[in-house]
Amino acid sequence: MEIDGRVALVTGAGTRVGRAIALALGQAGMRVGVHYMGSEKGARQTAEEIIAVGSEARTLPGDLTDPATAPRLVEHTAKVFGSLDVLVNSAAVLLRTPVGEVLVEDWDAMFALNLRAPFFLCQAAARVMRERGGAIVNIADLAAFETWRGYIPHSITKAGIVQMTRGLAHALAPKIRVNAIAPGAVLLPEGTTQDQAEKLIATTPLGRIGSPDDVAQAVLYLLSADYVTGETIIVDGGRHVRY
CATH no. for residue 42? Answer: 3.40.50.720
In a domain, 242, yes or no: no
pLDDT at 149: 86
pLDDT the model gives residue 235: 97
* Domains in the chain, number: 1
Strand partners for 88: 10, 137
In a domain, 2, yes or no: no
Cα angle, residue 217 at apex, residues 125 and 139 outer, rounded to 5°:
45
**243, part of any domain:** no
pTM of the model: 0.95
Tens place of pLDDT per residue across the chain (243 aa): 999 999 999 999 999 999 999 999 999 999 999 999 999 999 999 999 999 999 999 999 999 999 999 999 999 999 999 999 999 999 999 888 889 999 999 999 999 999 999 999 999 999 999 999 999 999 999 999 988 888 999 999 999 999 999 999 999 999 999 999 999 988 877 778 899 889 989 989 999 999 999 999 999 999 999 999 999 999 999 988 875
Indicate whether 172 belongs to any domain.
yes
Domain membership of residue 241 (yes or no) is no
15 near 42, Cβ under 8 Å? yes
Residues 6+ apart with CB under 8 A from 83: 6, 7, 128, 132
The length of the chain is 243
Does residue 64 belong to any structural domain of this protein?
yes
Whether residue 96 is contained in a domain is answered as: yes
Q: Is the dihedral of CA 172, 111, 14, 150 positive or negative?
A: negative
Per-residue pLDDT at 219: 99
Distances (CA, A) of 3 to 7, 66, 134: 8, 30, 10
The whole domain housing 145 covers 7-233
**Which pLDDT does position 108 carry in this prediction?**
97
Residue type, 141: D
Domain assignment present for residue 240? The answer is no
